Amino acid sequence: MLQRIQRIADHLKKATNGFVPETGIILGTGLSGLGKEIDVKYAIAYQDIPEFPVSTVQGHPGKLLFGTLGGKPVVAMQGRFHFYEGWTMGEVVLPVRVMKFLGIKRLFVSNACGGVNAAFETGDLMILNDHICLFPNPLIGKNIDELGPRFPDMSEPYDHSFITRAKAIAAANGITVQVGTYVGLTGPTLETPAEYRYVRNIGGDVVGMSTVPEVIAARHMGLPCFAMSVITDMGVEGRIEKTTHEMVQRVAEKAEPSLTLIMRELIAQC
Look at residue 237 in the predicted model and tell me its pLDDT.
82
Residue 30 to residue 259: CA distance in whole angstroms: 12
- Mean pLDDT score of the chain, rounded to an integer? 93
Longest Cα–Cα distance in the chain = 55
Q: Higher model confidence: residue 209 or residue 235?
A: 209
Query: Does the structure show a pLDDT above 70 at 186?
Result: yes
Asked if residue 56 has pLDDT above 60, the reply is yes
Give 252's pLDDT tier (boundaries 50, 70, 90). Answer: confident
CA neighbor of 190 nearest in space, from 117, 126, 137, 242: 242
Please give the average per-residue pLDDT across 183-187, as a whole number: 97
pLDDT confidence tier of residue 244, bands split at 50, 70 and 90 = confident
36 exposure class (CB count in 10 Å sphere: 0-12, 13-18, 19+): exposed
Under the banding of pLDDT at 50, 70 and 90, the label for residue 58 is low
Report the pLDDT averaged over residues 121-127: 94
Q: What is the pLDDT of residue 107?
A: 98
Q: Taking residues 26-32, report their average pLDDT.
A: 79
Q: What is the CATH number of domain 2-269?
A: 3.40.50.1580
Instruction: Return the pLDDT at 76.
Output: 97
Question: What pLDDT was estimated at residue 204?
Answer: 98
Comparing CA positions, the residue from 226, 244, 268, 247 lying closest to residue 71 is 268
Smallest Cα–Cα separation from 264: which of 54, 90, 100, 38? Answer: 38
- 3-state helix vs strand vs coil in the chain, percent to 5: 35, 25, 40
Give the sign of the dihedral formed by CA 173, CA 164, CA 69, CA 252.
negative
What does the pLDDT read at residue 214?
98
Closest CA to 267 of 76, 131, 97: 76
More confident residue, 244 or 217: 217
The residue type found at 268 is A
**Residue 163 near residue 180 (C-beta atoms within 8 A):** no
**Contact predicate 101/150, CB 8 Å:** no
The pLDDT, as a whole number, for residue 33 is 75
Task: List, for residues 141-178, the tens digit of each pLDDT value.
Answer: 999 999 999 999 999 999 999 999 999 999 999 999 99
pLDDT at 11: 97
d(CA 152, CA 237): 36
Q: Which residues are within 8 A (CB) of 71 and not within 5 positions of it... i.e. 6 or more apart?
A: 268
Q: Tell me the mean pLDDT in the region 107-128.
A: 95
Domain ranges (residues) in the chain = 2-269
Q: Which residues of 38-75 are buried (b: 16+ CB within 10 A; e: fewer)?
A: bebeebbebeebeebbebebebbebbbbbbbbbeebbb
What confidence score (pLDDT) does residue 251 get?
Answer: 78
| Cα distance between residue 229 and residue 235, in whole Å | 15
pLDDT of residue 79: 86
Q: E strands within the chain? A: 23-27, 39-45, 63-69, 72-78, 106-115, 125-133, 177-184, 206-208, 225-234
Q: What pLDDT is stored for residue 30 in this prediction?
A: 65
Nearest to 125 by CA among 18, 267, 27, 255: 255
